[in-house]
Chains A and B, each alone.
Chain A
Amino acid sequence: MLSRIAESLYWIGRYVERAEDTCRILDVHLQLMVDDPSTDPQESATTLLAVLGMPGTTGPVAPEELLTMLQYDHTSTCSVLAALEGAREAARRARETVSPEMWESLNATWNAVRAGQLRRMRPVAGLTYVRERCALIAGMADSTMSHDEGWHFLRLGRAIERVDMSARLMLWAAVSRRSSSAWNNALRACGAIHAFRRTHGAATLDEDAAEFLLVDRLFPRSVVYSLTMAESALAELEPGSLRSGFDSEALRILGRARTELEYEPLSELLTELPEALARLQQVCISVDAAISQRYFVGALSPAWTGGGV
């Protein structure tokens, strides 16, 4: 398929996932402000923005500003509106490839948010609305597009964004030292609280929560699960199979990151958790660059596919 189209699909995957995850984070943040009297709203907002890597946000941020920034700020990289706009723009460029159902659900969501839908709703209801719309868009893509190359690019983008955002969420919990509920909140922000309780019961231990979000093989938002999903999408995209090693730089980076998580003793991972999470974010950047280099930048590096069948 065209490199340009592949790139668009990859970014639809990333941006839709980003809009959803930003809503989850905001939802938990709002609840935290009410539940936990030991939270300093300003400091909490500043930490959150630092974790989300918001450029140009130095100095204190008022709580009400935070909501606007993460919902509506055009210039930010992770606001709901910016993410939806990015996804919609990418979809517009691949308009003939994405299914009409998916396009419509994405376009309608973007239109509603742009027209101020979230401002008219209670904050919590607005965030739920976006989350549900994102699930709808993803579900539409999965059920109305052929599971061909294009769909694998979409899935690849979704998986890599999920690794990135999950790492940031855990970083948020790891640096919130004061709050006994920090990991509970991280679980909630990942939509993992229910699955976690079914596995570990009611009492949340920090180690259990970190382990669950990092290396659980069955929960679809854990880092290891998302890395595996990215690997499988890439494997589908790789032409032919080799008897040894991996030809794709992206696969090598992903595989190394996953095995490091899976084979490193958990206790060691946890002692330097913030560093490990920062490394994961770097992994996402490297993978992104490798994918772009390999598939998107006008096939600058053609791969030898061999003459075999």
Chain B
Amino acid sequence: MLRPVSAWIDDYRPGGGVYDEMFTADRQVRPAYEQVVGGLERIDPTEMRTRVEFLQHIYADQGVTFDIGGQETPFPLDLLPRIIQPADWAVVEAGVRQRVAAQERFLADVYGEGDLFRDGVIPRQVVTSSHHFHRAAAGLRPVNDVRIHVAGIDLIRDPEGRFRVLEDNFRVPSGVSYVMTNRRAITSALPEVAGEHRIRPVQTYPSRLRAALTACAPRGIDDPTIVVLTPGVYNSAYFEHALLARMMGVELVEGRDLLCQNGHVSVRTTRGLSPVHVIYRRVDDEYLDPSQFRADSLLGVAGLINAARRGNVTIANAVGNGVADDKLVYTYVGDLIRYYLGQEPVLPGVDTWRLEEPAHREEVLDRLDELVVKPVDGSGGKGISIGPASSRAELDALRQRIIDDPRGWIAQPVVQLSTVPTVIDGTLAPRHVDLRPFAINDGSDVWVLPGGLTRVALPEGELIVNSSQGGGSKDTWVLEDDSAPEPVVIPNAFVPESISLSVQPPDHNMVEPHSKQQEQQQQGGAGGC
């Protein structure tokens, strides 16, 4: 039976000990969502069902997919948008900018003078033992001092509703394409609801990115040739690579399309080799240049790092950024912000145990069944162990792995991610979400895309939201500040002359009704048989 939205709202039961973003603890709708609820309640149940169905097939039709284990899967998108109030967003924006600024300084320092080691901010060994610390990047100073052209910072909301940083992605953060396609899909599905809100737009991202990539071009190149380097169609984020190239109006290339000669990079075209100046690469460091990293990689191009070192090509994001994503380094980011910027962190992190420290390790090994343990260089939710959800045998195996390689792991308490109501089986149910805002650094400013990707863990109670683990997403609406001036409506110019469209004239030889009558008569006469 189809139930109206008001029944969905009445039946909704947020979980305990969790921050629900739509309902307060005493089940009042929070102000941010009042208008959405009102709008949804005006849509009748049958209509609502067609809208849910519309969303279910639109991504399959458009080919908005995510590759899971070699299978192209439409990225599940929930009907109900997630709403972020201007005041909350101001905190997120400031926090993300601060974090990117500090990490830029950190990377410059790590691959440059190394002042931070001398000042004892972080042990040198923590950095050099990171899998993503690449000596190949040492002394390689980017043109406009930008290494983090694009950042994606994963945030969660704790039970008090405060945003906390869960992890950083300064290598090749993905997901921004879904921010744009989600907005398109949801505004088509709920035009009347979207139209009632002043939502900050997200469609400017590709032109921002292109501007940032133009700004980091080698010296003396005003109008650089930019390419997006993809591992190919089998990559899980291939859809995104193609979309960004398309929206920026640049070529999407694979490693085999590129050629390095004499420290210059070119792309093979039907008209011969053509120089390339900026490579927005979506290929991991290890695969980028077989002459420097994995010799068996076919995804990159030999000689790329040398070309970058000679200043003939810019690689974005820079090689070696992964050291700033390392989850052990993550435990020092607060100190890095204080050290480089002289500020307190705007966004707190999550308490983390460093397993190389014996006292920490002892405590964690005793409490494995209640903690979350993560590999320091993992991404996509791989290798994460959630204590309460793990079996005895899994925990024993984990214990051994930690003892063998304490540098490889960190431990955190189980953080209850906030929930947002999600349409499940024709009604609303609480589901855990995170938020990945995206930032672009063009060298003069760090710009944060208003919104970002909200990922939803679709199974009940699930805390891992990663798309590669079957997560879905929500459109994320950052509302315009009320104090922002109302948009000035400038009236349209006068249409000089309104000219009617031509239509086929009636038959030239006969008067219309007359001819029709005659044709019918004729038919009547002949068709008497």
Chain A residues packing against B (C-beta within 8 Å): 4, 7, 11, 14-15, 18, 30-31, 33-35, 37-40, 43-44, 47, 50-55, 77-78, 86, 90, 122-125, 164, 171, 174-178, 194, 196-203, 274-275, 278, 281-282, 284-285, 288, 292, 296-298
A35 touching B492 in the complex, CB below 8 Å, given contacts A53-B500, A282-B499: no
**Interface presence of B51 (CB below 8 A):** yes
The answer to whether A37 and B487 touch across the interface, beta carbons within 8 angstroms, is: yes
B interface secondary structure, majority: loop
Contact residues in B for A288 (Cβ distance below 8 Å): 502
Min distance, Cβ A279 to any Cβ of chain B, angstroms: 10
Contact residues in B for A297 (Cβ distance below 8 Å): 508
Cα–Cα distance between A249 and B143 once the two chains are bound (Å): 61
Contact residues in A for B480 (Cβ distance below 8 Å): 37
Cα–Cα distance between A83 and B494 once the two chains are bound (Å): 27
The answer to whether A201 and B489 touch across the interface, beta carbons within 8 angstroms, is: no
A203 touching B210 in the complex, CB below 8 Å, given contacts A122-B188, A174-B493, A175-B495: yes
The answer to whether B195 and A34 touch across the interface, beta carbons within 8 angstroms, is: yes
The answer to whether A176 and B500 touch across the interface, beta carbons within 8 angstroms, is: no
User: Which residue on chain A has the smallest CB distance to residue B490?
Assistant: A178
A176 touching B188 in the complex, CB below 8 Å, given contacts A37-B487, A278-B497: no
A201 touching B249 in the complex, CB below 8 Å, given contacts A284-B502, A285-B499: yes
The answer to whether A50 and B500 touch across the interface, beta carbons within 8 angstroms, is: no
Cα–Cα distance between A232 and B493 once the two chains are bound (Å): 36
The answer to whether B250 and A201 touch across the interface, beta carbons within 8 angstroms, is: yes
23 A-B pairs with C-beta separation under 8 A: A14-B504, A15-B504, A35-B187, A37-B480, A39-B489, A43-B491, A44-B492, A53-B499, A53-B501, A125-B54, A174-B493, A176-B492, A176-B493, A177-B492, A177-B493, A194-B246, A197-B248, A199-B249, A203-B211, A274-B493, A282-B499, A284-B502, A285-B502
Cα–Cα distance between A238 and B187 once the two chains are bound (Å): 50
**Interface presence of B269 (CB below 8 A):** no
Min distance, Cβ A280 to any Cβ of chain B, angstroms: 10
**Interface presence of B503 (CB below 8 A):** yes
Min distance, Cβ B518 to any Cβ of chain A, angstroms: 15
Min distance, Cβ A174 to any Cβ of chain B, angstroms: 7
**Interface presence of B498 (CB below 8 A):** yes
A274 touching B496 in the complex, CB below 8 Å, given contacts A35-B187, A122-B51: yes
The answer to whether B207 and A203 touch across the interface, beta carbons within 8 angstroms, is: yes
Contact residues in A for B211 (Cβ distance below 8 Å): 203
User: Which residue on chain B has the smallest CB distance to residue A282?
Assistant: B499
Cα–Cα distance between A177 and B505 once the two chains are bound (Å): 36
Min distance, Cβ A144 to any Cβ of chain B, angstroms: 23
A interface secondary structure, majority: helix
Contact residues in B for A278 (Cβ distance below 8 Å): 496-497, 499
User: Which residue on chain A has the smallest CB distance to residue B500?
Assistant: A53
Task: Choose among A4, A38, A197 the residue that contacts B247 (Cβ–Cβ < 8 A).
Answer: A197
The answer to whether A202 and B508 touch across the interface, beta carbons within 8 angstroms, is: no
Min distance, Cβ B214 to any Cβ of chain A, angstroms: 9
The answer to whether A86 and B503 touch across the interface, beta carbons within 8 angstroms, is: yes
Task: Choose among A197, A275, A281 the residue that contacts B249 (Cβ–Cβ < 8 A).
Answer: A197
Min distance, Cβ B208 to any Cβ of chain A, angstroms: 9
Contact residues in A for B54 (Cβ distance below 8 Å): 122, 125
User: Which residue on chain A has the smallest CB distance to residue B509?
Assistant: A298
A164 touching B501 in the complex, CB below 8 Å, given contacts A178-B489, A275-B496: yes
In the complex, besides A43-B489, A77-B501, A122-B50, 8 extra interface pairs with C-beta distance below 8 angstroms are: A44-B492, A51-B495, A122-B188, A176-B493, A178-B490, A196-B249, A281-B499, A288-B502
**Interface presence of B423 (CB below 8 A):** no
User: Which residue on chain A has the smallest CB distance to residue B493?
Assistant: A175
Task: Choose among A15, A43, A55, A124 the residue that contacts B500 (Cβ–Cβ < 8 A).
Answer: A55
**Interface presence of B440 (CB below 8 A):** no
Cα–Cα distance between A197 and B480 once the two chains are bound (Å): 29
The answer to whether A47 and B501 touch across the interface, beta carbons within 8 angstroms, is: no
Cα–Cα distance between A7 and B211 once the two chains are bound (Å): 52
Task: Choose among A15, A31, A178, A202 the residue that contacts B207 (Cβ–Cβ < 8 A).
Answer: A202
The answer to whether A202 and B248 touch across the interface, beta carbons within 8 angstroms, is: yes
The answer to whether A197 and B493 touch across the interface, beta carbons within 8 angstroms, is: no
Cα–Cα distance between A297 and B498 once the two chains are bound (Å): 27
**Interface presence of B1 (CB below 8 A):** no
**Interface presence of B488 (CB below 8 A):** yes
- 6 smallest CB-CB distances across A and B, nearest first, come from A38-B487, A178-B490, A197-B249, A201-B249, A175-B493, A202-B207
A40 touching B493 in the complex, CB below 8 Å, given contacts A164-B501, A288-B502: no
Min distance, Cβ B321 to any Cβ of chain A, angstroms: 24
Cα–Cα distance between A39 and B194 once the two chains are bound (Å): 14
User: Which residue on chain A has the smallest CB distance to residue B197?
Assistant: A37
**Interface presence of B76 (CB below 8 A):** no
Min distance, Cβ B476 to any Cβ of chain A, angstroms: 16
1/0 contact string of B418-460 vs chain A (CB within 8 Å) = 0000000000000000000000000000000000000000000
Contact residues in B for A52 (Cβ distance below 8 Å): 501
Contact residues in A for B187 (Cβ distance below 8 Å): 31, 34-35
User: Which residue on chain A has the smallest CB distance to residue B507?
Assistant: A4
Cα–Cα distance between A292 and B506 once the two chains are bound (Å): 12
Min distance, Cβ A12 to any Cβ of chain B, angstroms: 10
Contact residues in A for B503 (Cβ distance below 8 Å): 77, 86
The answer to whether A38 and B488 touch across the interface, beta carbons within 8 angstroms, is: yes
1/0 contact string of B30-53 vs chain A (CB within 8 Å) = 000000000000000000001100
